[in-house]
């Protein structure tokens, strides 16, 4: 019996599939299956019911799960007591991010990791908040930075930002500092993310609270494309103030007011509540140090 075998068993049991467990441990599925088979052979018991679609534990597997968790916890404690080192963090960490993160501070985080932990690689996946949140729950991502609150018991979270959003328009559609009333939202298309976005959920809650009826919504899953459509005069959109400030200064967009102010948008770092690996702990600490949503957009700067 080895720790690698127990680790393979533990994550296959926790994540429900051998394929996702193999991704998390950065091994092939065949290697993970081999480790589990070797553990079963050593114990003389089947740990998984392989007739089920998901990795369902047998009674012997259920009995072993807590003991395997305790063994892995003890290993982490031993490594922590010996002190961190540059070589300790190695392998790949899969990070879910939104486009706002990807085009502001995330490249600086990657550069720091390459400098301080040369054996560690960050693998970003850009997507909408609710989709990358689901990927963290399933174990397909190790950590994620997403818009909106963290309400799922499977996840732990840390706040990393609280961002001001403003309404914007092309000057050809609405004048500078127009105060948006209900009739404006009925007359002008709102360009917004799909429902899988944390920002979309915030907007829908805001509109419902203030009984604002939207005449037409244009859905788009790209922040850059939403901004481009707004500049082209297709409709109005809400944007992070600091992020679009250079476009406001150049006159490509104009800021709008709203009778009911937009709420500030929280951004949170999340990871699985049962994931106590050193690599996740280190990335959580680094993100909290590096996350700066006031950083210039890399494509248009100040």
pLDDT tens by residue, the chain, 302 residues: 888 899 999 989 888 888 888 887 877 888 889 889 989 998 998 999 877 667 789 899 999 999 998 988 888 777 666 655 555 678 889 999 999 999 999 999 999 898 888 889 999 999 999 999 999 998 899 999 999 888 899 999 999 999 999 999 999 999 998 999 999 999 999 999 998 999 998 999 999 999 999 999 999 999 999 999 999 999 999 999 999 999 999 999 999 999 889 999 999 999 999 888 888 988 999 998 899 998 888 787 55
The pLDDT assigned to 219 comes to 95
- Let me know the angle formed at the C-alpha of 90 by 89 and 92, rounded to the nearest 5 degrees: 120
Which pLDDT does position 226 carry in this prediction? 97
pLDDT for res 88:
64
Structure-block tokens of residue 197: 């976005």
Q: What is the reported pLDDT for 301? A: 59
- Token output for 47: 């740990």
User: Please, are residues 13 and 57 in contact by the beta-carbon 8 Å criterion?
Assistant: yes
Contact 48, 56 (CB under 8 A): yes
Q: What is the pLDDT of residue 277?
A: 83
Domains in the chain with CATH codes? 3-81 (1.10.10.10), 91-162+266-290 (3.40.190.10), 165-263 (3.40.190.10)
What is residue 279's predicted lDDT score, i.e. its pLDDT?
A: 87
pLDDT the model gives residue 222: 94
């Amino acid at each position: 019996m080895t720790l690698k075998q127990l680790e393979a068993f533990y994550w296959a049991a926790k994540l429900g599939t051998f394929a996702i467990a193999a991704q998390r441990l950065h091994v092939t599925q065949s290697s993970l299956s081999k480790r589990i088979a070797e553990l079963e052979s050593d114990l003389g018991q089947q740990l998984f019911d392989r007739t089920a679609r998901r990795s369902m534990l047998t009674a012997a597997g259920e009995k072993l799960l807590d003991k395997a968790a305790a063994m892995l916890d003890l290993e982490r404690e031993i490594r922590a007591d010996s002190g961190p080192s540059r070589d300790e963090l190695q392998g790949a960490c899969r990070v879910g991010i939104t486009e706002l993160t990807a085009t502001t501070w995330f490249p600086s985080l990657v550069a720091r990791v390459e400098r301080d932990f040369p054996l560690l690689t960050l693998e970003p996946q850009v997507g909408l908040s609710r989709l990358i949140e689901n990927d963290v729950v399933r174990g397909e991502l190790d950590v994620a930075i997403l818009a909106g609150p963290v309400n799922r018991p499977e996840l732990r979270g840390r706040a990393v930002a609280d961002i001001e959003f403003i309404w914007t328009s092309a000057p050809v559609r609405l004048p500078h500092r127009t105060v948006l009333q209900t009739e404006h939202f009925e007359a002008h298309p709102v360009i917004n993310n799909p429902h899988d976005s944390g920002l979309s959920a915030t907007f829908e809650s805001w509109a419902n609270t203030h009984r604002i009826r939207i005449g037409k919504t244009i859905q788009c899953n790209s922040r850059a494309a939403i901004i481009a459509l707004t500049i082209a005069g297709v409709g109005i959109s809400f944007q992070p103030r600091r992020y679009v400030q250079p476009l406001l200064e150049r006159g490509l967009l104009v800021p709008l007011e709203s009778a009911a102010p937009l709420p500030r948008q929280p951004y949170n770092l999340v990871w699985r509540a049962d994931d106590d690996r050193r690599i996740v702990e280190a990335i959580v600490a680094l993100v909290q140090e590096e996350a700066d949503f006031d950083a210039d957009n890399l494509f248009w700067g100040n």
